[in-house]
Structure 1
Amino acid sequence: MDTLIVYCHPYEKSFNHAILTKVTVALTNQKRNYQIIDLYNEGFNPIYDQEELRLFHEGGTHDPLVKKYLALIQTASTVIFITPLWWNSIPAMLKGFIDKVMKEGEGLSHTVSSTGIHGKLNNVKHTYVLTTSTSPKFYLRFFAGNAIKKVFINQTLRQLGMRGRHWLHFGKITNSSYARRKQYLDKIEGYRFK
């Protein structure tokens, strides 16, 4: 598979869904093969139970979606995350996706040694994180700790071995005009994903 989209929003009429639509148009126009993981629509359970946590340390799972999602991410050369930022970070659903799907072990997403985490998702050559928030980007970066860039993109995704990481953000969504939203969506539709 060429491109995997990980979509994390529960509402079909959200701006995030409009972004998802434009991303798929862009990929189709570029004649790219893609698949969508729609975490909410597919009923992904981001919560560990005792058995899932026990199996984690063996690289296992009893959740069929975890197996499916890990197999998809292991075969993608490009991964595109589409998510809102809630309380200055990714939603619990996406955090649960990372927690449960990224399994430790040979042939999985990463290994852990005395020197740290060693990512195994080197197949992912380009990673895009498309976010929205009520806060402007400068506020997220300079006053709210820049968790999305510092932790999720530059640490978590890097530790998993995902390369070519890019962040595209649409801030101040609540008070944005129709014209500004359309301009951003047009930009996404014309964006050249690698």
Structure 2
Amino acid sequence: MRTAIVFNHPYEASYCNAILNAVTKGLKNANHEVDLMHLDNDGFNPVMSSADLKAFVEHKPIDPQVIDYNQRLEKADHLIFIFPIWWDQMPAMTKGFIDRALCPGVVYDHHPRGFGLVPLLKKLKGVTIITTMNKPKIMYSLFNGSLIKKAMLRSVFKTMGYKNLNWLSFTSVKSVSQKKRENWLINLEKRFSKFN
């Protein structure tokens, strides 16, 4: 299987990077081919320009980086996002990837009957979102209604018609013990070592 990972965190020593390493190691243990789209290292521009929007409407991306990401998404059997939750939402680069790289005509299209969307990534079997945050889980859920679940799983991928959608949320990251953070990484590696 080929797993595409969309990663967004600018700090190399972040816990998100540790998660990326654990997930990648697990996937490779399971003989997955891993395709990393590191938005920060790639210098991805999240801003939709007027030319980008025109291309978006015409279903013909013009940015070489977006075209490259599109081609790689078409080859993926599974898609994983890894990013921190800042101010209750995803960072700008992740949002920009959704806006600019999840292109109509490539990732989804409008239903021929005129209502709803249909998925176009025929190989894609599922999407997993892995996030970190310093807020406690119950606070994020009660006061913010689990915005990532609503914004990414429901509003984006479920609306497009994709199945097998999962969200792994690591909360209170700074306040939990080092041992707990280490155990999370061990369990992630084990989880993705059995991934199919």
> TM-score interval w.r.t. the shorter chain?
over 0.9
Distance 1:138 1:149, change over 3 A: same
Q: Distance in 1 between matches of 2:138 and 2:32?
A: 33
Where relative contact order (Cα < 8 A, 6+ residues apart) is larger, the structure is: 2
Q: Which amino acid in 1 is paired with 2:87?
A: W
Alignment partner, residue 38 of structure 2: 38
Alignment partner, residue 177 of structure 1: 177
Stretches of structure 2 lacking an aligned partner (at least 5 in a row): none
Q: Distance in 1 between matches of 2:9 and 2:161?
A: 25
Would you tell me which structure has more helix in proportion to its own residues? 2
Cα contact 1:121–1:160 (8 A) shared by 2: no
Q: Distance in 2 between matches of 1:193 and 1:137?
A: 25
Cα deviation, 1:171-192, whole Å, max 9, x if unaligned, reads 0012121111101011111113
Cα deviation, 1:19-44, whole Å, max 9, x if unaligned, reads 00001110111111111000010011
Alignment partner, residue 88 of structure 1: 88
Structure 1 residue ranges, 4+ long, deviating more than 6 angstroms after superposition: none
CA drift of 1:138 comes to 1.9
Q: Does 1:140 align with 2:140?
A: yes
Q: Does 1:3 align with 2:3?
A: yes
Q: Distance in 1 between matches of 2:84 and 2:171?
A: 10
Q: Which amino acid in 2 is paired with 1:115?
A: F
Q: Does 1:97 align with 2:97?
A: yes
CA RMSD of aligned residues (A): 1.4
Aligned length: 192
Alignment partner, residue 112 of structure 1: 110
Aligned-pair identity (%): 34
Alignment partner, residue 78 of structure 2: 78
Stretches of structure 1 lacking an aligned partner (at least 5 in a row): none
Q: Which amino acid in 2 is paired with 1:94?
A: T
Q: Which amino acid in 1 is paired with 2:179?
A: A
**TM-score, with length taken from structure 2:** 0.92
Q: Which amino acid in 2 is paired with 1:193?
A: F
Cα deviation, 1:101-159, whole Å, max 9, x if unaligned, reads 11123xx1111253122222242112111100011222222221211112211221122
Q: Distance in 2 between matches of 1:176 and 1:10?
A: 22
Cα contact 2:117–2:161 (8 A) shared by 1: no
Q: Which amino acid in 1 is paired with 2:27?
A: L
